[in-house]
Amino acid sequence: MKTVLIKEDILSRNNERARDVRALLQKKKIFYVNLMSSPGAGKTTLLTRLIPALGDPLRVGVIEADIDSDRDAVAVERATGARTIQMHTGGACHITCQMSLEALEALGTDGLDVIFLENIGNLVCPAEFDTGANMNLVLLSVPEGDDKPLKYPLMFEVASAVAVTKLDVAPIFDFDRARAEKNVRLRNPDARVFFLCAKTGEGVAELAEAIRAGIRDAKR
Amino acid sequence: MKTVLIKEDILSRNNERARDVRALLQKKKIFYVNLMSSPGAGKTTLLTRLIPALGDPLRVGVIEADIDSDRDAVAVERATGARTIQMHTGGACHITCQMSLEALEALGTDGLDVIFLENIGNLVCPAEFDTGANMNLVLLSVPEGDDKPLKYPLMFEVASAVAVTKLDVAPIFDFDRARAEKNVRLRNPDARVFFLCAKTGEGVAELAEAIRAGIRDAKR
């Protein structure tokens, strides 16, 4: 009982903080994207392909969240030249909006058009915490299986868009695109579904166009 | 501050409960294995191959934990004939020892030699909660990448054994066995590392032998 109350308290404070983040983004006309997925679904690799595909003269920021290690921040910065910071969560399984706000301040938002937050690899907990992002981009990698929306409902319910990644190995893993899309729709009739492969570049342009549309909306 | 205290309280109560589970298992001479991994790493598929590989006349029980859906319990029961129950966590991202104990009671432990608990697919939170199991078997699937022990330290620290799964696709994913083993060892010098593919059966016999050794120890 105690635990539930504390959790509700945390979530209600988190939602208040999310309003602060949205106010900041609106003032600075920045589009903020929260990438969520299982470990190893390809968030970092997707960023290294997606950011160049956005095209000039966009100015991009990246916040890499990890429990430990700075491998992802190094990889993204090297591949894209985007302004990048590494955030360590000290064991935490998700990013709260307070952490999101502190990371935005540490990154520095001046002059940026779009910021990507790479959340902790976890298909459960990050879905519970609004980071203040304009778009929740959920990755589902082909090797995980097309049934994951059935088993991790909340993550797909909070998704603004779903990117099915590692599409090149779909034949090997007996992954059914239509079934995956149907399972996403069961949880979320409105989410756009992209099918792509960051390694070959297939489908990355369509996702980049959706991000550019978001950036244009944020400028209005 | 409040949150941390509550969490410590939960963990200390959890550890007390783990002693209850261990006492029950010791009395009944049952070996209890807790399978943990990312979503889609192959826990269910491994069980469908591992249980038959254990050989007769072992009597096997399976507890399938999921946030939603009973797909896994149906699949395991159909493939192996093991006594199986489905546990729903109602959104929870891990199995507490209280849940573990209730599931053992619901399954019925009489006459069983070994029980497998398939934990929630999550490489973070389940590591924090002792389920009372004799063995923490952590799966790392090849498509996730050989760097995961660097990024999810606690899960590999609490592992008794690590099973690298989906080994057949290692060449496609540029997965380095030696590097994976080295990264596991950085977190945990004592964990045994198995390399296997449930689809082809490669390496499953070695893991089955390790489980049989645990069952023999539990009988003493």
Question: What SS3 class is residue A83?
Answer: strand
Out of B10, B148, B172, the one facing A39 most closely (by C-beta) is B148
Q: Which of B162, B180, B191, B177 is nearest to B46 (CA)?
A: B162
Residues of chain B contacting A, Cβ within 8 Å: 2-3, 6, 10, 38-40, 66-69, 71, 91, 93, 120-125, 141, 143-145, 147-148, 150-154, 166, 169, 172
- The pLDDT, as a whole number, for residue A96 is 94
CB B151 within 8 A of CB A66: yes
CB A75 within 8 A of CB A48: yes
Question: Could you write out the DSSP letters of every residue in B10-38?
Answer: HHHHHHHHHHHHHHHHHHHT-EEEEEE-S
pLDDT range class, residue A82, cuts 50, 70, 90: very high
Q: Which domain holds residue A141?
A: 2-219
pLDDT range class, residue B162, cuts 50, 70, 90: very high
Chain A hits for B151, Cβ within 8 Å = 39, 66-69, 71, 121
Q: Which of A169, A136, A135, A156 is nearest to B39 (CA)?
A: A156
Cis before A153 (ω within 30): no
Percent of chain A past pLDDT 90, that is, above it, reads: 86
Compute how many other C-beta atoms are within 10 angstroms of the C-beta atom of residue A115: 26
Q: Which of A10-14, A40-44, A194-198, B71-75 has the least mean pLDDT?
A: A10-14
pLDDT range class, residue A67, cuts 50, 70, 90: confident
- pLDDT (tens digit, 9 = 90+) per residue, B18-64? 999 999 999 999 999 999 999 999 999 999 999 999 998 899 999 99
pLDDT range class, residue A32, cuts 50, 70, 90: very high
Out of B125, B150, B172, the one facing A93 most closely (by C-beta) is B125
| Mean pLDDT of all residues in A111-140 | 97
CB A104 within 8 A of CB A30: no
- The pLDDT, as a whole number, for residue A174 is 86
- How near does any CA of chain B get to the CA of A105, in Å? 23
| Mean pLDDT of all residues in A32-52 | 98
- Judge whether residue A1 has pLDDT over 70: no
| Mean pLDDT of all residues in B123-136 | 97
Rounded Cα distance, B210 and A77, in Å = 43
A124:B120 CB<8 A: yes
B71:A124 CB<8 A: no
- The pLDDT, as a whole number, for residue B8 is 65
| Element containing residue A87 per DSSP (H, E) | strand A83-88
- Judge whether residue B109 has pLDDT over 90: yes
- How near does any CA of chain A get to the CA of B84, in Å? 18
pLDDT range class, residue A56, cuts 50, 70, 90: confident
- Judge whether residue A4 has pLDDT over 70: no
- How near does any CA of chain B get to the CA of A56, in Å? 31
pLDDT range class, residue A70, cuts 50, 70, 90: confident
Q: Which CATH number belongs to the domain containing residue A55 in this structure?
A: 3.40.50.300
| Number of structural domains found in chain A | 1
- The pLDDT, as a whole number, for residue B148 is 96
Residue with tokens 């539990």: B218
Strands A114-118 and A60-66: parallel
- Judge whether residue B10 has pLDDT over 90: no
- The pLDDT, as a whole number, for residue A201 is 97
> How many angstroms separate the first and last alpha carbons of chain A?
45
Rounded Cα distance, B73 and B68, in Å = 12
pLDDT range class, residue A2, cuts 50, 70, 90: very low
Give the list of residues 6+ apart from residue B92 with CB closer than 8 angstroms, or none.
Answer: B67, B99, B120
Mean pLDDT of chain A: 94
- Written as six digits, the tokens of A156 are 């797909």
Q: CA dist B211 to A84, B83, B145, Å? A: 45, 18, 26
| Element containing residue A50 per DSSP (H, E) | helix A43-54
CB B127 within 8 A of CB A45: no
A40:B39 CB<8 A: no
- pLDDT (tens digit, 9 = 90+) per residue, B168-217? 999 999 899 999 999 999 999 999 999 999 999 999 999 999 999 999 99
Query: pTM of the predicted model, to two decimals?
Result: 0.94
B interface test, pick of A3, A38, A66, A146 with most B CB neighbours within 10 Å = A38
Interface A:B, Cβ pairs < 8 A: 108
Q: Which of B199, B202, B163 is nearest to A172 (CA)?
A: B199
Chain A hits for B148, Cβ within 8 Å = 39-40
Nearest chain A residue to B169 by CA: give it: A172
